C-alpha cells in the first residue's frame, strides 16, 4: 500500500514537471520559427496545462477504467472552481473582464450541459455512453472555442520573444523529448497506482478519480492561479480556470471517447450538478456587490462547499 502511494506521488511529480518542460521547449521552438505568441498560447500552453488530465485519461480510457476517465475530468473541474478560485479569491478579490462574464463563463456552462446530455444519452435510446460520435461533437465545440479565443486575445511579442531568446536547439529538443517521455511515465504510474490503491482500500475508482487524481492533475492550474492572484493579475487567475474547465470537457473527454466509447454511470450526475452549482455561483457573483468581481466571502462559500462535498463523498462511499 505504502509503495503504491509513493508511486502515485512520484507519478504526479513526474507528470507536472514534464508538462512544464514540454511547454517551455515547445514555446521556445515555436518562437524560433516566428510563430506568433497568440498561436503559442492557444495551442502549446493550453495543451501543456491540460496535459496531465489528457495523459491520465488516455491510459485510463485505453485500459477501460471509465470511472477514472469521468472522475478525473469532472473532479478536476470541481476542484478548479471550488478550491482554486476559492483560495485565489481569499488571497485577493478577483475582478475580471466583461468578456469573461458575458462569454467565457457561459461557454463553460454550455460545456457542462452538453456533457450531461450526451453522457446520459438523452438524444437516443440505449445505455449511458459517450460514443465516438459524441466525442466528435465535443471536439468540434473545442475548435469553436479556439476560434473564439483566437479572435479575442492580444499578445505582447517583445516580452514573450525575449523569454526564450537564449534557448539553444539542443536545449529545446531535450525539454520537448524529456517532457513527452515524462508525461507517458507519470501518467502510467498514476493510473496503475490509483487502481491498486482503490482495490486495496475497497474504495471505488470513481472516488479515487474525483478526489486524488483530480486534485493532482489540477496542481498546474492551482500554481498558475495562486501566482497570478499574488501578482494581482486577476484575468489570468480566473481565465486559467474557466479555460481549463472548457478544455477538460471538450478536448480531454473528446480525445478519451475517440480512443474507446466510454461507459457513463448516472451516479456522476450528482458531481455534474455540483459543477453546475459552482459555475452559477461564479456567474452570479459577477453581479453582486461590485460588478465583475469575486469577493472574499463568495470565494469562502466556494471553498466551504467543496469541503462539504468531499465529506459527503467519503461518507457515501463508506
**At 158, is the pLDDT very low, low, confident or very high (cuts 50, 70, 90)?**
very low
The CA distances from residue 283 to 152, 185, 221, in Å, are: 20, 38, 20
pLDDT at 242: 83
- Output the CA–CA distances (angstroms, integers) from residue 258 to 76, 84, 246, 261, in the order listed: 20, 30, 18, 7
Taking only the tens place, the pLDDT of each residue in 219-278 is 777 776 777 777 776 666 777 788 888 889 999 999 999 999 999 999 999 999 999 999
Mean pLDDT of 135-139: 96
The pTM score is: 0.80
Element spanning 95, H or E: strand 94-95
**CA–CA separation, 80 and 304 (whole Å):** 14
Task: Evaluate if residue 166 carries a pLDDT over 80.
Answer: no
Band the pLDDT of 187: cuts 50, 70, 90: confident
Does residue 72 contact residue 209 with C-beta atoms inside 8 Å?
yes
Between 124-133, 155-164, 257-266, 288-297, the lowest mean confidence (pLDDT) is in 155-164
pLDDT, position 255:
94
Secondary structure of residue 81 in the 3-state scheme: helix
The Cα–Cα gap between 270 and 315 comes to 15
For the chain, list the domains and their CATH numbers. Answer: 2-317 (1.20.1420.30)
Amino acid at each position: 500500500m505504502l509503495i503504491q502511494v509513493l508511486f502515485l506521488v512520484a507519478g504526479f511529480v513526474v507528470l507536472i514537471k514534464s508538462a512544464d518542460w514540454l511547454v517551455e521547449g515547445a514555446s521556445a521552438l515555436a518562437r524560433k520559427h516566428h510563430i506568433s505568441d497568440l498561436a503559442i498560447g492557444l495551442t502549446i500552453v493550453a495543451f501543456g496545462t491540460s496535459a496531465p488530465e489528457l495523459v491520465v485519461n488516455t491510459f485510463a480510457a485505453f485500459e477501460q477504467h471509465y470511472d477514472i476517465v469521468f472522475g478525473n475530468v469532472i473532479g478536476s473541474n470541481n476542484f478548479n472552481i471550488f478550491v482554486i478560485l476559492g483560495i485565489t479569491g481569499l488571497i485577493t478579490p478577483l475582478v475580471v473582464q466583461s468578456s469573461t462574464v458575458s462569454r467565457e463563463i457561459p461557454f463553460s456552462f454550455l460545456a457542462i450541459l452538453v456533457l450531461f446530455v450526451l453522457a446520459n444519452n438523452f438524444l437516443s435510446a440505449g445505455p449511458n455512453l459517450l460514443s465516438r460520435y459524441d466525442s466528435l461533437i465535443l471536439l468540434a465545440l473545442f475548435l469553436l472555442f479556439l476560434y473564439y479565443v483566437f479572435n479575442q486575445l492580444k499578445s505582447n511579442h517583445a516580452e514573450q520573444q525575449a523569454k526564450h531568446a537564449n534557448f539553444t536547439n539542443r536545449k529545446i529538443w531535450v525539454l520537448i523529448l524529456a517532457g513527452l517521455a515524462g508525461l507517458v511515465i507519470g501518467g502510467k504510474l498514476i493510473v496503475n497506482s490509483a487502481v491498486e490503491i482503490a482495490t486495496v482500500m475497497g474504495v471505488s475508482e470513481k472516488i479515487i478519480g474525483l478526489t486524488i487524481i483530480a486534485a493532482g492533475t489540477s496542481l498546474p492550474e492551482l500554481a498558475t492561479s495562486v501566482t497570478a492572484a499574488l501578482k494581482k493579475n486577476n484575468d489570468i487567475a480566473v481565465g486559467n480556470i474557466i479555460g481549463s474547465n472548457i478544455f477538460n470537457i471538450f478536448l480531454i473527454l473528446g480525445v478519451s471517447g475517440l480512443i474507446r466509447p466510454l461507459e457513463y454511470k448516472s451516479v456522476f450526475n450528482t458531481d455534474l450538478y455540483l459543477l453546475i452549482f459552482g459555475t452559477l455561483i461564479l456567474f452570479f457573483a459577477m453581479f453582486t456587490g461590485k460588478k465583475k468581481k469575486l469577493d472574499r466571502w463568495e470565494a469562502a462559500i466556494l471553498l466551504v462547499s467543496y469541503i462539504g462535498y468531499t465529506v459527503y463523498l467519503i461518507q457515501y462511499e463508506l
